Structure formats: C-alpha cells, structure tokens
Amino acid sequence: MSPVRATKRGAERTPLSGRFDVIVCGASFAGLAVARELARTPLATRPSVLVLDRYEIGERATSACAAPTPWLEAMGVSASIRSELPYMSFTTPRGGARYRLPWSWSSFDYSELCQGLWAQCGDARFETAKVEGRAPATPGGRTALDGELTIRTDRGDVSASLVVDALGWRRVLSDPHYQPPEAPLSRGLEVHPHVPESPDFDALECWVDRSLVRRGYAWRVPAAGEARIGVGSYDPHQHVKEGTRELASRLDADAVRYQGNWFPHRLRPATEDGVFFAGDSAGHCLPLSGEGIRTAFAFGIAVGRELGKVLDGSQSRAQALAAYHAQSAAQARFYGRLLKLQRLIPALPPRVLALAFKAVSPQPVVDRAFGWYLDQAHPRLAAAPPPAARSPAPSAA
C-alpha cells in the first residue's frame, strides 16, 4: 500500500521541548509494545510517556506484515488481520514441501495494527519528530547511568531518565551507527500487487532458489486482495530488485508498489550508555527467517515491564538496565544457532535441501519443529504478569 503522507511539515512542526518520565523513540512494533506495556502499570505510578517517530503512527510500513496469529491476538490487534494462513510451503528448484502448522501466520494491515496498539497506550503523548541522537553531556553533568538523558530531535531537545531506542536497524541512539552494506544486516524488497481473493491463498510461501537470490529466500504473503511478494538477501551487498521482479513475473503478478528495508541478523547489546534498545535496534530480528515482529513485541514488553518496576520504586534504573540486558543476552545461543543455519542452508545443494524439507513433512515433526520455533518468543509473554521478584544488582550496562 503506498502511504498517504500524514507527517507534519513546515510551519506545523512546532518546537518540541520538555521533560518526561519515559521517552520511547520509534512508534512501530517495538516502540508501541513498550508504550502499551507502560499504560498497564498501576494508575498511581503511571508515567508521563513521550513517543516519537519521524512519521505518523502506522504511516510507513517496511515489512511483509505477517506474524503468528496467537501473537496478534495476545496484543489485542486481531482486527488488523487480512488473511489467516494455516500452511507454510518451501520450494526449491528440486522440489519442496507444504506443512500444516500447529499455529497459523496472519498477514495484517500495518496502519490498522499500529493504530490498534496505540489505542492501548493510555495517556502517552505522540509527536512526529526525527530523532537525531543524544545531546552531548554538559560539562560536569551527571553520567548517563544515573542522570537525565537528553534526546536531540529536529524539533528541539526533550529529556527523560528512562529512554528507549526502538528506531529500527539504525540504532540512532548508539554511536557509531551501522552503515550498510558493511554491517551484519540483511536486505529485503517486496512488491504489493492487487490479486483476486482465492481460498487457494492459504499459505505463507517461501522459495530457496539461487536463481532468485544467491544467499537468502523469497516469499509470497497473501493479504486479502493483495500479495506481498519479495526477496531477502542475507548478503547486504547483493541487490534484490531483480529477484523480486523475477518472482513477481513467475507468479504472474505486477511488480508494483515497492517497499524495502534492511533488517539485522545479529544480536546487539540491548542496553548501552543508559539507553534501552528493543526490536531491530538491538538485533532482535531472527536470523534465517528474518522474522522480527513478534520478537519486537516480546522485547518491547520486557523493556516496559522493567521500566514499570523503576517507576513503582521497586528497582533502580541501573538494575532495570542490567536485568533487561541479561534477558536479551540470554537469547544469544538461540540467535547464534539460527545464524549458523542462515550460513549453512544457502550452501546446501538444492537436492539435499529438497530432501531436508521433505524429511520435516510428517505432521508430528512439523508440530514439534514449529512448536519449538514459536516457543522461543511465545505469545504467553504478552499475558504473563510482570515478575514480582526484585532484579539482581547490576553489573555494568
């Protein structure tokens, strides 16, 4: 869908200033999950929250927008679902397999999903502003670990002692930033042709085919009267436009309404210099599958819960930083395994790959494999009450 520009321009961009309890930079999956969680803190400790994004909420999608249906339900945004997809297929030049999953994917409308999350964010204030970075510390000022953080935007400076960077792969509040293509990033590009609705569109389809992309995969995600057809390359140097056009042509679809972005495939420290990072800014997008929406939700919720404990006085900011840092780092093994598979799978001969997809086909194996995959960031995380235990004393964050 080509976005209708709603972002304020020119004279409408009034100066922005002020002090808040929490500033959430980025109003997409991770940022809105943080703000939504903060709105669930007890009324007495409910903080003043400023959410910043360079675009209006839901104005600009950069994803195929498919996520496990149970996650969309748990986040209260089922109304944004366009197509529920109980099947998943994998095709190679030497054959493939089609699986009935133990849970389903759903494609959704990005704008509606973001609006649905925002509706759950209570009194949080939203402003469109480009976040430019951290303001330099004043000479003799307190350090980032114990004091106020000032965030520089194109509309002025705002400050808070609790700041979240949910700004995506650029990780704007860190220094130095990632610079593609010399960074552990994948790149994706898709087209969004209109297609007639059909009950046959019941699967999230993937192709592992070197004639489309040397190291990566391609996909078609049905979304009611639209198909999201794209290619992702694990190699950031490799362009993906040709592969995307080629797949659209093979599927007899128009290569129209392009959208693309970079996405990380390596975990990064989830805290740095007093700032919490969630979603793509912390490398939470999963290697191999490039799935980053439910992990952005999961880690956004985790940040929100740690901040809630700072606000109710049950832990210090330093403790919250340490606890959240440890939660994210605890996933390093899982992310490392997926990264190894991301390196291995494109190197396998298509015949071996086709056999491997077939080997997973028996229903008990599918149930086990995909059940394990969902378990790594399970939707029950969205419902679980915040743990009552006090966080451990911090090391360095």
Ligand X SMILES: Cc1cc2nc3c(=O)[nH]c(=O)nc-3n(C[C@H](O)[C@H](O)[C@H](O)COP(=O)(O)OP(=O)(O)OC[C@H]3O[C@@H](n4cnc5c(N)ncnc54)[C@H](O)[C@@H]3O)c2cc1C
**Sites of contact with ligand X (CB under 6 A):** 26-31, 52-55, 60, 62-67, 130-131, 166-168, 170, 172, 188, 190, 230, 260-261, 263, 279-280, 285, 290-293, 296
Which is nearest to 89 in space by CA: 100, 81, 98, 80? 98
Two tokens, residue 350: 């298509």
Shortest Cβ 131–ligand X spacing (Å): 4
Q: Which is nearer to ligand X, 133 or 392 (CB)?
A: 133
Residue 34, phi-psi category: left (phi > 0), alpha (psi -120 to 50), beta (remainder): alpha
User: Nearer Cβ to ligand X, position 170 or 257?
Assistant: 170
Q: How far is the CB of 121 from ligand X (least distance, A)?
A: 14
Closest-CA residue to 1 (of 64, 92, 85)? 64
DSSP string, 111-172: HHHHHHHHTTSTT-EEEE--EEEEPPPPTTPPPTTTS-EEEEETTEEEEEEEEEE---TT-T
For the chain, report the end-to-end CA distance as a whole number of angstroms.
40
Provide, rounded to whole angstroms, the least separation between the CB of residue 187 and ligand X: 7
- Taking the complex as a whole, the smallest distance from the CB of residue 305 to ligand X amounts, in Å, to 17
- Smallest gap from residue 130 Cβ to ligand X (A): 4
CB of 167 to ligand X, least distance (A): 4
Residue least distant from ligand X (Cβ): 292
Residue 190 beta carbon to ligand X: minimum distance, rounded to whole angstroms? 5
Closest to ligand X by CB, 74 vs 172, is 172
Burial class (CB in 10 A: 0-12, 13-18, 19+), 344: exposed
Q: Which CB sits closer to ligand X, 189 or 318? A: 189
In terms of Cα–Cα distance, which of 316, 299, 298 is closest to 307?
316
The nearer residue to ligand X, 112 or 312, going by C-beta atoms, is 112
Q: Which is nearer to ligand X, 232 or 274 (CB)?
A: 232
Centre a 10 Å sphere on the Cβ of residue 107 and count the other Cβ atoms it contains. 24
Compute the distance between CA of residue 7 and CA of residue 260 in angstroms, rounded to an integer. Answer: 20
Which letter does DSSP use for residue 68 in this model? Answer: E
Nearer to ligand X, 53 or 109 (CB): 53
Q: Provide, rounded to whole angstroms, the least separation between the CB of residue 341 and ligand X.
A: 17
How many whole angstroms separate alpha carbon 330 and alpha carbon 295?
Answer: 14
What does the alpha-carbon distance between residue 27 and residue 169 come to, in Å, rounded to a whole number?
Answer: 14
Q: Which token pair is 228?
A: 């999201």
Least Å distance, CB 55 to ligand X, is 5
Alpha-carbon distance 340 to 288, whole Å?
Answer: 9
Cα separation of 85 and 107, whole Å?
Answer: 8
Smallest distance from ligand X to CB 33, Å: 8
Closer to ligand X by Cβ: residue 52 or 97: 52
> What is the identity of the amino acid at 73?
E
Nearer to ligand X, 22 or 172 (CB): 172
Contact indicator for 303, 321 with CB cutoff of 8 Å: no
Q: Which is nearer to ligand X, 30 or 160 (CB)?
A: 30
